[in-house]
Structure 1
Amino acid sequence: MSSAPSGLAGYDITLGLENDSVATITNATIAEEFGLSLVNISEDNTSMTVRLRGLDFDENIEEGATNISLADVEIEGMATGETALEIQDVTRVDDDSGDSLDLDTTDSGQITVEEAETPTLTIGDATVEEGSTTNADVSMSSAPNGLAGYDITFGLENDSVATITNATIPDEFSYSSVNISEDNTTMTVRLRALDLQENIEEGATNISLADVEVEGVSAGETALEVQDITRVDDDSGDPIDVNTDSGQITVEAADGPGDGNATPNLGIRLDREHVTAGDETAASVVLSEAPEGVAGFNMTLGVDGEEVTIVATSVGDSFDLAVTDTDADAAMIRGLDFNQNVQAGAENVTLATAYVRGAEGADGTAEISITDVNVLESDEAETINATTSNATLEVHNVEPIAYNQLPIDADADGLYEDIDGNGEVNRNDAQIFFREFNSDAIQGYDEYDFNQDGKLSYSDIIALRNYM
């Protein structure tokens, strides 16, 4: 009600729908300001109505009140279309003096019922190499009335490209069954699941139903599709009509070791991509493949940026003769493989390793690169033409929080989960994080934003606990 110049003692109003075939009235709640309330829903041969009565015993709605909430009327859509929800009768609306209020009741509400979206059962695309396995996820876009369970059979369009090897059903389903079978024409997997605990509630979206494991057989493409839907039921036991969207399984040819088809890459691989100031990590020079082995090499590594210095170098274990010359920002490294330890077809060959340290007070990034390759020769005395790739190391200037130990980035993700720096992430780290949360050693450091929401809050303590 727009206003109550003399307060509002109570009301007795009947509302009705213009067209009950489009929607029905299922419930109503009277605003809590009214100490006494009654709701009566009735239906005759022509229409459905709801009678609403409310009394304001405590005079919560005072003289001059505006925009007064009287009730919420719950509507259920029945069929696509529109209908008016209108005031059919005003028995009384009294102010605090007991006088009847004269109301303008011409402002009806328009109820629009849209066509319900049909849930879609989607199989995700997946790519896998020959001889390897991968998972294709199966999900349902929505469950307007919950999901009690399902019984669905999936199959591959072309079993010569890939095969189904396994399937897993999420823990939300208390009971599950997986049956893989193969007849003369196709391989299928039948998945059955029941949500006995009603974990998948009314209105749930993006519901994971299963992961189907497929193995690549030969290079090509095949569809993973729904072959049969025995049933998909909601929490009321009614069947859910679903659309289906097949997934595309792409199988790529596996690269044989040393097949020489790909151009070798000479790259930098970091043990950790993040270090604290004063902390060290290893930067290894790795040759992706050596079709004709490696006889020897002569190269220079460099560091671009003052955040990192080179403190030591070594040559890979496969090389019998090594010479290194190390400065803070560059290292010359040579190695010879007299005994042909690196044989033809070898992959991921570590030629050398530089040990780099975050500079004191540094807070930034440094590029570690192969600045010069004088010699990179195969066992056939041929030059190995390789591309090169660099690596970026981030240095964080964090401070000790407890026991005068620097925190440690436990998994090289830029977040310092090991708060006390003892090499383990456990309950003690969460306790220290909580105790010292407001300290200068924590506040202002993104390295402790464990839930990655752009700010430091107690939610980060919970995120650290969940990480353990």
Structure 2
Amino acid sequence: MTDSTHLSIRERTVHLALVLAALTLLAGTLPAVAAAQSGPTVTVGNGTVTAGETTTVQVVLTSAPDGLAGYQVELALDDPAVAQFDNASYPDRFALTTDPVVSSDGGTITIEAADLDGAIEPGAGNVTLATVEIAGGEAGETGLTVASGQFDADGGEAIEPATEPTTVTVSSGPTETAVTGNSASATAADSTDGEPSTASAETDSGDNQSTTAAAGPLALPLVLVALGVAAALAARAGQP
């Protein structure tokens, strides 16, 4: 094998190593590029709440490349028995807002607002659209999705953001409530059990009174018998 052959093999090895290094760098860069080029997305924070209590989650538009003139969004809960929408509020940057519309079962809520002052400029990111209040029902977990939405950019063009589902988790209430209920039941039971005892005591008292009353008439005959026996003994003792 000549020196030129060794050089050719060495060059190919170096070239292959450079190609592999370039591919590795490209693979690491692609996710960042894809993330930078991804469009706007509507996200809703995960919610955790205790049954009978309320919590809040934020509805966010991750980016507004052309600004945001206004929006209308309907959120939906998969299982209204687990959690229900209660209310919503808007950031001050939205000059025009509508009252949230909640369905009768609390399963959906519609929010709507407009940026009349151009506060949300082109290129804005993580734009909070509203803060939604959710009430906990039964213990469990339910999905929360963006059922529908309409978004308009500053120039009037429609924005079609992606959506991401989320979940709401409801935990059971504190165990102290159950303990308190049992204690109250036990107290009531003790109180109920105590009433017969009082009646029994009254009955026993009545029995004692009867016994004492009966003992009164029997005392005099006994005394007379005792006196008679004593007199007989005295008379016998006096005989010669």
Report the TM-score when normalising by structure 1: 0.30
CA offsets 1:398-424 (integer angstroms, 9 cap, x no match): xxxxxxxxxxxxxxxxxxxxxxxxxxx
Partner of 2:194: none
Question: 1:257, CA displacement in angstroms?
Answer: 2.1
Q: Does 2:93 correspond to 1:172?
A: yes
Partner of 1:188: 108
- Partner Cα separation in structure 2 for residue 152 and residue 255 of structure 1: 35
Q: Contact 1:124–1:246 at 8 Å: present in 2 too?
A: no
Q: Does 2:152 correspond to 1:221?
A: no
Q: Contact 1:225–1:246 at 8 Å: present in 2 too?
A: yes
- Partner Cα separation in structure 1 for residue 177 and residue 55 of structure 2: 24
Q: Does 2:72 correspond to 1:158?
A: no
- Partner Cα separation in structure 2 for residue 169 and residue 224 of structure 1: 19
Q: Does 2:207 correspond to 1:249?
A: no
Query: What secondary structure sits across from 2:62 in the alignment?
Result: strand
Partner of 1:211: 131
Q: Which protein has greater RCO, CA pairs closer than 8 Å, 6+ apart?
A: 2
- Partner Cα separation in structure 2 for residue 258 and residue 239 of structure 1: 51
Structure with the larger helix share: 2
Q: Percent identity?
A: 36
Query: What secondary structure sits across from 1:199 in the alignment?
Result: coil
1:132 to 41, 53, 64: 53
Q: Contact 1:180–1:187 at 8 Å: present in 2 too?
A: no
Alignment of 1:387-398 (within 5 A): none
- Partner Cα separation in structure 1 for residue 42 and residue 123 of structure 2: 15
- Partner Cα separation in structure 1 for residue 161 and residue 60 of structure 2: 11
Q: Closer, same or farther in 2 for the Cα pair 1:129/1:118, shift >3 Å?
A: same
Alignment of 1:228-307 (within 5 A): 228-229=148-149, 231-257=150-176, 259=178
CA offsets 1:21-66 (integer angstroms, 9 cap, x no match): xxxxxxxxxxxxxxxxxxxxxxxxxxxxxxxxxxxxxxxxxxxxxx
Where in structure 1 do 4 or more consecutive aligned residues deviate above 3 Å?
Answer: 113-116
Question: 1:183, CA displacement in angstroms?
Answer: 5.6
Alignment of 1:302-317 (within 5 A): none
Q: Unpaired runs of 5+ in structure 1?
A: 1-112, 261-288, 293-343, 345-468
Q: Closer, same or farther in 2 for the Cα pair 1:257/1:242, shift >3 Å?
A: same
Q: Does 2:115 correspond to 1:198?
A: no
Question: 1:152, CA displacement in angstroms?
Answer: 1.0
CA offsets 1:162-202 (integer angstroms, 9 cap, x no match): 11110111111001113323268x72111110000111111
Q: Aligned Cα RMSD in Å?
A: 2.5
Structure with the larger strand share: 1
Query: What secondary structure sits across from 2:98 in the alignment?
Result: strand
Question: 1:238, CA displacement in angstroms?
Answer: 0.4
Larger CA Rg, structure 1 vs 2: 2
- Partner Cα separation in structure 1 for residue 83 and residue 140 of structure 2: 9
Partner of 2:11: none
Q: Contact 2:40–2:61 at 8 Å: present in 1 too?
A: yes
1:142 to 55, 63, 66: 63
- Partner Cα separation in structure 2 for residue 178 and residue 125 of structure 1: 23
- The number of equivalent residue pairs is 150
Equivalent AA in structure 1 for residue 160 of structure 2: D
Q: Unpaired runs of 5+ in structure 2?
A: 1-32, 188-240
CA offsets 1:217-240 (integer angstroms, 9 cap, x no match): 1100111211111x2011111011
Report the TM-score when normalising by structure 2: 0.57
Alignment of 1:280-359 (within 5 A): none
